[in-house]
Amino acid sequence: MKIFVYLVKDNELGEIFFKNDYYTYSFIQDNILLISGKNVKENRYFLNDEDTSNNILNINIIPDLNNVNVNTDYPLIYKISKKSTYLDKSDIYHIINPYHMISNLLNILEPKISNALIYYRIKKVEKIIKKIELQKRIKDIIGFKILLDGKWLDCLDCLDCYKTKEILMKDLDIKTVKNYISEPKPNKYRALHLLGTHDTIDYEIQIVTVKMNLMNPIKKD
């Protein structure tokens, strides 16, 4: 299973996966693991190549594995119950580097779209925790905004958004389309939102024109 991992200074949410003298590992969603503890100095995303020296996910923290020969590469962690005597595929978690996923998706998006700017973001852990507290599932840890060069909120610019959506849906695994152009949010927000899946991981694409983007309420992720 593939998971996102965040390091957080404090955390009282989620199901505790493991705990030792230094860290508490808690799943707040089936694909989001929070690691909190006194050695975490700031909230941030976990990146394998930057964090391996900290032994945060050192396999040796799980005592039941003393007699098991396992692959201890850092992109993997193993969930083993106290009664387990063997490893099963369902016990393996692959840690996602979000920038690898973003790069893969940009390689698909950029050749398909001209006269547009593409932005991306990784959702901050504070926003994730807030949504979890509201009992909402997180489906947009990875997010993209496609900014088209339309200047006015007229029908032609709206058609540009719809045309872009149709182009993307030919090559991307889009599960849901939310049309906030024809039905704006109560705060007058307008855009097309595409919710898709890439390599089993959910992401969101927002399609807007320059004018829509200027008129939309500011939202910080």
Parallel, antiparallel, or unpaired for β 92-95 and 76-78? antiparallel
pLDDT at 52: 46
Contact yes or no for 157/208 (Cβ under 8 A): no
Residue-level pLDDT at 30: 84
Instruction: Identify the CATH class of 98-215.
Output: alpha beta
- With contact defined as beta carbons under 8 Å apart, do 92 and 76 qualify? yes
Q: Which residue has the higher pLDDT, 53 or 114?
A: 114
Query: pLDDT confidence of 66, banded at 50, 70, 90?
Result: very low
| pLDDT, tens digit (0-9, with 9 covering 90-100), for 67-97 | 334 444 333 454 444 334 444 444 566 778 8
Mean pLDDT of 139-168: 81
Whole-structure pTM value: 0.77
Domain ranges of the chain: 2-95, 98-215
- Describe the chain by its helix, strand, coil percentages, rounded to 5: 30, 30, 40
Phi and psi angles of residue 19, each rounded to the nearest 5 degrees, phi first: -145, 135
How confident is the model over 174-219, as pLDDT tens digits? 999 999 999 999 999 999 999 999 888 899 999 998 888 888 887 6
